Amino acid sequence: MDYAVIRSGGKQYRVHPGETIRLEKLSAEPGSAFVFTDVLLASSDAGLKVGKPLLDGFRVTGEIVRHEQAKKILVFKKKRRKNYRRRQGHRQQLTVVRVTGIEAGASSHGESHGA
């Protein structure tokens, strides 16, 4: 497989085997394997396969590298002429995943790790 589009944490990601991606925090320990079953699209030499909405039997496997936080963003609220100002910082929790493979196999009903 060349690449796939997966859904994780309410967002869509285009992934290639061997690539490292940063996702919304997943509940898995670093060093463990993780399986994404929410595959929306897959591309290979044979052509493009598009799910409606998911591809049945496709899965993307990955390895959890580490958990980290994104850079801090500032959330600033203001109401003019009311002397109202609030400043708050936020750092999003992320998980770094190394994609190990894209598999087109039998239907995978039951075990669902897609977050």
Helices H / strands E in the chain, number of each: 0, 10
Q: Residue 25: which of 68, 89, 73, 74 has the closest Cα?
A: 68
Burial pattern 7-34, b for ≥16 Cβ within 10 A else e, equals: bbeeeebebebeeebebeebebeeeeeb
Residue 26: pLDDT above 90? yes
Residue 99: pLDDT above 50? yes
Give DSSP secondary structure letters for 18-61. Answer: T-EEEEE--SS-TT-EEEE--EEEEEETTEEEE-SSS-TTEEEE
pTM above 0.95, yes or no: no
The mean pLDDT of 13-28, rounded to a whole number, is 95
The mean pLDDT of 8-18, rounded to a whole number, is 95
Measured between alpha carbons, how far is 81 from 37 in angstroms, rounded to an integer? 51
**What is the rounded average pLDDT for all residues in the chain?**
90
Contact 7, 40 (CB under 8 A): yes
Higher pLDDT, 85 or 105: 85
